């Protein structure tokens, strides 16, 4: 298994044994995330975020700092030369001189792939439009494994915006490597992208559903997502589906006692705060798990861990 120098553009760039290995290394990073390490001393990560982000960018930067590396970058296209009309390729050709690795978030699908094609240093896709978010999928898998002790054998539901949500696209691809049953719960107009569905339904049982109550009592993991308002071409369409689902304590009465609820965050109104105190909530643990997962990725790609 070779990770050094690799790009991470799509979760489909990995095989299952590679994903399992990343999750193992992430677990080994837990103590280092607490006490720190000098493994990546002298290395520089650039975070180029052309779209807003709190978690993904800070999580990458935290992961780099915990391994002794440093970070440069920008958090919004407005302050970058993009505002002056610079194209993505020129930005990458410039930043590759400054950094050993680049984490990129961009509103356009295909942007991360394009960046990887022209970059001398590895590119990590931190979100490419509505397409994919592979590092989120890895931390989601890590969370499931850590909380449930396994991934195989579980019934997993994804709820909300399966059309425009990039995290569910990457996670669905990733879960299709495992022996899971996948329930896709969404309004009709926000169904899982057909191209994702075609690939995953050849490998695992996939059930599409509109009614959350129908699956609530049987699932082990409920992955809730925000309706991606900013990606709707027509605001009227957003108004039709806004607030479609609310995972509140009444809904959770029907859940298995050991159901875990995940959410990539940020949340809007799909999970009210009262749920945070229930034994089901794991979305803030996911944030921590994002740090160790990204530590593992940085260490592997930069060759500090084999
Ligand atoms: C997600 C994203 O940016 O795709 N957030 C994240 O990275 N944790 C989810 C979202 O914005 O809804």
d(CA 261, CA 225): 11
* Low-confidence spans in the chain with pLDDT less than 50: none
Instruction: Read off the pLDDT of residues 158-180 as tens digits, 9 standing for 90 and up.
Output: 999 999 999 999 999 999 999 99
Q: How far apart are the CA of 138 and the centre of ligand 1, in A? A: 14
d(CA 176, CA 229): 27
Is the distance from CB of 184 to CB of 159 less than 8 angstroms? no
Domain that includes residue 277, residue range: 134-287
* Residue 145 shares a structural domain with residue 127: no
For residue 165, give Cα distances in angstroms to 41, 173, 180, 232, 274.
35, 13, 21, 11, 24
Would you give the DSSP letter of residue 218? T
The confidence score (pLDDT) of residue 83 equals 66
- Is-catalytic flag, 84? yes
* Residue 162 shares a structural domain with residue 294: no
* Residue 151 shares a structural domain with residue 63: no
Residue located nearest, by CA, to atom 8 of ligand 1: 264
The confidence score (pLDDT) of residue 212 equals 96
**Annotated catalytic residue within 57, 66, 105, 294:** 105
Residue 96 covered by a domain: yes
Q: How far apart are the CA of 266 and the centre of ligand 1, in A? A: 6
* Residue 293 shares a structural domain with residue 241: no
d(CA 75, CA 77): 7
- φ/ψ (deg, to 5) at 189: -75, -10
* Residue 31 shares a structural domain with residue 42: yes
**Annotated catalytic residue within 35, 84, 120, 194:** 84
Ligand 1 site residues, Cβ closer than 6 angstroms:
55-56, 127, 133, 136, 166-167, 226, 228, 264-265
Q: How far apart are the CA of 167 and the centre of ligand 1, in A? A: 7
The confidence score (pLDDT) of residue 94 equals 95
* Residue 268 shares a structural domain with residue 234: yes
pTM over 0.75: yes
What is the share, in percent, of the chain residues with pLDDT greater than 90?
92
- Is-catalytic flag, 55? yes
Number of domains in the chain: 2
How many CB atoms neighbour CB 94 within 10 A?
12
* Residue 239 shares a structural domain with residue 209: yes
- Is-catalytic flag, 106? no
The full length of the chain comes to 306
d(CA 52, CA 214): 35
Is the distance from CB of 143 to CB of 262 less than 8 angstroms? yes
Where do we find the tokens 């000098």? 38
Instruction: Read off the pLDDT of residues 260-287 as tens digits, 9 standing for 90 and up.
Output: 999 999 999 999 999 999 999 999 999 9
CATH number at residue 157: 3.40.50.1370
Collapsing DSSP to helix, strand or coil, 100 comes out as: coil
d(CA 208, CA 190): 11
* Residue 144 shares a structural domain with residue 81: no
């Amino acid at each position: 298994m070779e990770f050094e120098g690799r790009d991470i553009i799509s979760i489909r760039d990995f095989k299952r044994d590679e994903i399992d290995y990343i999750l193992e290394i992430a677990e080994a990073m837990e103590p280092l995330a607490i006490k720190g390490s000098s493994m990546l001393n002298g290395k520089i990560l650039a975070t180029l975020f052309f779209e807003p982000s709190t978690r993904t960018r800070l999580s990458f930067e935290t992961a780099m700092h915990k391994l002794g590396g440093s970070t440069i970058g920008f958090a919004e296209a407005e302050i970058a030369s993009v505002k002056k009309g610079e194209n993505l390729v020129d930005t990458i050709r410039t930043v590759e001189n400054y950094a050993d690795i680049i984490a990129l978030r961009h509103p356009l699908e295909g942007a991360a792939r394009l960046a990887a094609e022209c970059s001398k240093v590895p590119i990590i896709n931190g979100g490419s439009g509505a397409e994919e978010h592979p590092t989120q999928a890895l931390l989601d898998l890590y969370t499931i494994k850590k909380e449930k002790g396994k991934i195989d054998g579980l019934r997993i539901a994804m709820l909300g915006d399966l059309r425009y949500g990039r995290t569910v696209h990457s996670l669905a691809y990733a879960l299709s490597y495992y022996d899971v049953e996948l329930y896709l719960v969404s309004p009709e107009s926000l169904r899982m992208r057909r191209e994702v569905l075609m690939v995953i339904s050849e490998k695992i049982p996939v059930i599409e559903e509109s009614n959350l109550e129908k699956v609530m009592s049987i699932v082990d993991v409920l992955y809730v997502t925000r309706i991606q308002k900013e990606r709707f071409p027509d605001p009227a369409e957003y108004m039709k589906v806004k607030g479609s689902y609310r995972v509140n304590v009444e809904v959770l009465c029907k859940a298995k006692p050991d159901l875990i609820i995940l959410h990539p965050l940020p949340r809007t109104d799909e999970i009210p705060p009262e749920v945070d105190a229930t034994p089901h909530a794991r979305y803030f643990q996911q944030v921590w798990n994002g740090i160790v997962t990204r530590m593992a990725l940085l260490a592997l790609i930069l060759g500090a861990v084999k």
